[in-house]
């Protein structure tokens, strides 16, 4: 951070902004009207006047029965969208009884091994009456098929089934690490899912292109937007190469960003992201439909900014971050629980996080007008600054061979690590003040009891998956898994043989193993 005041993205923040900061500002080109290109002011003409954002609380732990209870509690408290957290074995394509899963089953999310688990996860929840987001990437196709089949069993109209599957594998190689297969076959699996949903689940959002995890790894706001949109461009190019029409699949693309405590810059970031995406979709891909060019996004408050010290102060941080998301025009929002720096959120903390959104929606006047900061000297100046720097960084990625080529060279990962190191240095030097951490400390911290996972859950989940294996037709399962491998070799759409494998009661791990047998696993260059 330079002397004086600087943004998170390291451009200077002036003490006073005035007309001179917008001397080249063209309101028609850069601002427009709400709901109209370039969507700087939001993707809907009335934004929250007609309907508030979706209040989507991220939850999942233990086994399907425990998570189902939490989902029902959240729905009863007024949440309007579910968001499923899966445990690490599920994310990495291992069953709960695999040796590598030991000690991790149900720890950071819910364990899902078979369609039986998915049935229990949504027991008593009508899937055509809620929208569900699933944070899953490498095995995204498998979990989506399970969800679809459960909805079908409930009698849901699949043409109207709505929700999102994250399905964003590129950011896994950059920041998060829950990849399985190499980039090229992973991209094929992503576009196969695009094609499948275009035919089978037309209202489903087929990808949530995520900057959140890169931001949590240390990316600044400019890097977050630039790398997210560069990944999005790679997905669009891959889909077009696979024969999809831009206006057939682009309306189902969605994005996922973090929201930090630096309210002004975050509001400007969201406005700049919408404008950039509109121009990319028009200029590079010649999209005709406004729905193809409008960037819709989910926001989550910044987990990395939560502190274990004085955890109740996180309630203040989350409130400020939620305000920034709403002022920036988010379509859905997850507010972190104040105790998440200590462990999985308790039911009370999760309810308080939801109440934060409800107070903003119903007790403030932010939902009474669209884009309240439009025309602000500081917001418009920051929006322009972020747009310029994002485009410069995207150009650098493009020159490195696009998102995939840059990933193979380690460009994004290196720049994010440099940013994270700089942030750590600034905190150590007290150039960034973190209340309760490097200033305003308290001596006597209150005792706190985090939510804990029952140690018997893993054994119960192992028994459950083994019971499914013992009850099914083993020959039918092996035949279905062989067809998955055949499709992987032949280039056929993988979602259809995966669907048959799920119906035969094949497990997540078995289906992933069939794909591993053809594609192998990705090993980062620095690990070789």
Residue range 317-336, pLDDT digits in tens: 999 999 999 999 999 999 99
CA distance 57 to 76: 13
- Given a cut of 80, is residue 457 above it in pLDDT? yes
The tokens for 232 are 């999005």
The tokens for 23 are 């001397």
| Residues contacting residue 297 through CB under 8 Å, at least 6 positions apart | 254, 255, 256, 257, 270, 273, 330, 331
CA distance 399 to 385: 22
| Residues contacting residue 298 through CB under 8 Å, at least 6 positions apart | 54, 56, 133, 164, 208, 254, 255, 256, 257, 330, 331, 332, 333, 334
Residue range 183-227, pLDDT digits in tens: 999 999 999 999 999 999 999 999 999 999 999 999 999 999 999
Q: What pLDDT, on the 0 to 100 scale, is given for residue 446?
A: 62
The answer to whether the beta carbons of residues 87 and 136 sit under 8 Å apart is: no
% of residues, the chain, pLDDT over 70: 98
Provide the whole-model pTM: 0.93
**φ and ψ at 2, to 5 degrees?**
-75, 170
Residue range 109-119, pLDDT digits in tens: 999 999 999 99
Name beta bridge partners: 133. 83, 164
342 alpha-carbon distance from chain centroid: 22
Q: Please provide the CATH number assigned to the domain covering 19-428.
A: 3.20.20.240
CA distance 360 to 124: 30
Residue range 340-350, pLDDT digits in tens: 999 888 889 99
C-alpha separations of 425 from 9, 418, 475, 491 in Å? 15, 11, 58, 48
Q: What pLDDT, on the 0 to 100 scale, is given for residue 347?
A: 87
CA distance 520 to 409: 20
| Residues contacting residue 302 through CB under 8 Å, at least 6 positions apart | 215, 216, 258, 259, 260, 261, 317, 321, 336
What residues does each domain of the chain span? 19-428, 470-527
Closest CA to 122 of 69, 68, 74: 68
The tokens for 358 are 């409800």
Q: How confident is the model at residue 451 (pLDDT cuts 50, 70, 90)?
A: confident
What is residue 369's DSSP assignment?
A: S
- Given a cut of 60, is residue 527 above it in pLDDT? no
Q: What pLDDT, on the 0 to 100 scale, is given for residue 445?
A: 60
**φ and ψ at 254, to 5 degrees?**
-140, 165
């Amino acid at each position: 951070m330079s002397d004086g005041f600087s943004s998170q993205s390291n451009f200077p923040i002036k003490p006073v902004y005035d007309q001179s900061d917008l001397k080249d500002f063209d309101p028609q080109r850069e601002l427009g009207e709400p709901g109209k290109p370039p969507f700087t002011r939001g993707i809907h003409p009335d934004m929250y006047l007609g309907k508030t954002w979706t209040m989507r609380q991220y939850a999942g732990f233990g086994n399907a029965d425990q998570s189902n209870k939490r989902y029902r509690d959240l729905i009863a408290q007024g949440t309007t969208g579910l968001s499923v957290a899966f445990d690490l074995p599920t994310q990495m394509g291992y069953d709960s009884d695999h040796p590598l899963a030991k000690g991790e089953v149900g720890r950071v999310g819910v364990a899902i091994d078979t369609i039986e688990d998915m049935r229990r996860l949504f027991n008593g929840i009508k899937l055509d009456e809620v929208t569900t987001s699933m944070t899953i990437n490498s095995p995204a196709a498998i979990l989506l098929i399970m969800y679809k089949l459960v909805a079908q069993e409930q009698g849901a109209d699949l043409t109207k089934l709505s929700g999102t599957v994250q399905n964003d594998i590129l950011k896994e190689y950059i920041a998060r690490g829950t990849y399985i297969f190499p980039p090229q076959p992973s991209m094929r699996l992503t576009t196969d899912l695009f094609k499948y949903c275009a035919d089978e689940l037309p209202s489903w959002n087929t990808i949530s292109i995520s900057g959140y995890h890169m931001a949590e790894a240390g990316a600044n706001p400019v890097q977050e937007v630039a790398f997210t949109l560069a990944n999005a461009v790679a997905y669009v190019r891959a889909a077009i190469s696979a024969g999809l029409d831009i206006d057939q699949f682009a309306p189902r693309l969605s994005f996922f960003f973090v929201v930090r405590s630096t309210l002004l810059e975050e509001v400007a970031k969201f406005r700049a992201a919408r404008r950039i995406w509109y121009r990319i979709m028009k200029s590079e891909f010649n999209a005709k439909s406004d729905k193809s060019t409008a960037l819709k996004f989910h926001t989550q408050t910044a987990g990395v900014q939560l502190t274990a010290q004085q955890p109740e102060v996180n309630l203040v941080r989350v409130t400020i971050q939620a305000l920034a998301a709403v002022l920036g025009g988010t379509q859905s929002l997850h507010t972190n629980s104040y105790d998440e720096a200590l462990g999985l959120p308790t039911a009370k903390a999760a309810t308080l996080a939801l109440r934060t959104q409800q107070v903003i929606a119903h007790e403030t006047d932010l939902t009474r007008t669209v884009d309240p900061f439009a025309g602000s000297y500081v917001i418009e100046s920051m929006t322009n600054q972020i747009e310029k720097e994002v485009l410069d960084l995207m150009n650098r990625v493009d020159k490195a061979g696009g998102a995939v080529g840059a990933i193979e060279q380690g460009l994004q990962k290196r720049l994010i690590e440099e940013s994270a190191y700089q942030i750590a240095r600034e905190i150590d030097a007290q150039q960034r003040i973190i209340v309760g951490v490097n200033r305003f400390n308290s001596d006597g911290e209150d005792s706190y009891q985090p939510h804990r996972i029952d140690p018997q859950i893993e054994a119960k989940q192992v028994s459950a998956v083994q019971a499914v294996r013992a009850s099914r037709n083993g020959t039918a399962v092996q035949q279905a898994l062989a067809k998955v491998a055949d499709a992987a070799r032949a280039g056929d759409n993988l979602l259809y043989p995966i669907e048959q494998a799920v119906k035969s009661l094949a497990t997540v791990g078995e289906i992933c193993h069939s794909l591993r047998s053809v594609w192998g696993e990705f090993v980062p260059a620095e690990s070789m």
